[in-house]
Amino acid sequence: MKVGFVGLGVMGKPMAKNLLKTGYSLIVCKHLDPRPVDELVAAGAHEVSSPREVAEESDIVVTMLPDSADVEEVVLGEKGLLRGARKGMIIIDMSSIAPSSSKRLALEAEKEGVEMLDAPVSGGETGAIEGTLTIMVGGKKSTLSKCVEILQALGKSIVYVGDAGAGQTAKLANQIIVALNIAAVSEAFVLGTKAGVDPSVLFEAIRSGLAGSNVMNAKIPKILQRDFRPGFKIRLHYKDLKNALEAARDLKTPLPLTALAQQILCALVNDGKGEADHSAIINFVERLANVEVRSTS
């Protein structure tokens, strides 16, 4: 089976590598940054010049792109996947985009005899590298059944959520919880540090109790070392919460805490921290309190 891959960023490159390691023939296309393409070609992938050409050579195409407009261009554009697709081809969009966009793309693909899943992921760069992502799938169950082995090469948890767009809705719920969790952890550790408590000791004191979380376990060790290299970027989390708030508006569902978290992310983007890891939410709180949370050992 030939698998195409479009979108070789922080998440996409290691995901594509895992497909190669599993033994799939991989087709990739030119990228704004040629380095990840060159790296994958050196590992055995075949390079073509456009998404259309990726579709022409692939049975299944995975996309991993920044936002709705990017996916729409890759799927529907003049040199997009649907221009080169054969009937029966499958597109698995693993980007995090608006549910409404996923629904629209699935309908357009269906008109061309192409099947489509929205399958966004959680787990960050580490999960992408280790192949342990959590994958939330929307679309037809019959389509998912044809793609299980490919998804198993990328993640450890694959959950079918519902029809087209449902995977994206699950991802938005995930992103709300992660953002608010990081914000809560940030406020708690800024308070503790301001009060003179060693943040490393505070971490050990609370991590095993009800306040403990995967988010805190993943982010506090990096915060204490002042390591804000991106596993998931501030600007992308800002985009995800924008999509969540737009979906909530359409459903007439108030999300006041999500709106506040999005404004914090907006302030960080404006402060030049859009490329930092989303754990840099703590920088916003630190600035307000004039304190820095870091390891003292």
Residues of the chain whose pLDDT is less than 70? Answer: none
- Let me know how many helices (H) and strands (E) the chain has, helices first: 15, 9
Residues of the chain with CATH 3.40.50.720: 2-163
Go through 228-242 and write b for each residue having 16 or more CB atoms within 10 A of its CB, e for each that does not.
bebbbbbbbbbbbbb
Q: What is the DSSP letter of 63?
A: E
Of 234, 242, 225, which is closest to residue 271 (Cα–Cα)? 234
Q: Are strands 60-63 and 2-6 parallel, antiparallel or unpaired?
A: parallel
Residues of the chain within CATH 1.10.1040.10 domain(s) are 170-289
Q: Say what the pLDDT of residue 150 is.
A: 97
pLDDT of res. 296? 82
pLDDT at 50: 97
Length in residues, the chain: 297
Tokens representing residue 18 in the block: 């895992």
Q: How far apart are CA 17 and CA 240, in angstroms?
A: 25
Which are the catalytic amino acids? 171
pLDDT of 31 reads 79
Q: Where are the beta strands (DSSP E) in 80-127?
A: 90-93, 115-118, 121-122
Q: Which two tokens stand for residue 290?
A: 């004039």
Q: Which fold has domain 170-289?
A: N-(1-d-carboxylethyl)-l-norvaline Dehydrogenase; domain 2 (1.10.1040)
Q: For 173, which DSSP code?
A: H
Instruction: Provide the pLDDT for residue 53.
Output: 98
**Contact (Cβ atoms closer than 8 angstroms) between residue 96 and residue 128:** no
pLDDT digits (tens, 9 = 90+) for 179-223: 999 999 999 999 999 999 999 999 999 999 999 999 999 999 999
Strand-pair partners of 91: 61, 116
Give the pLDDT score at 223.
98
CATH architecture of 2-163: 3-Layer(aba) Sandwich (3.40)
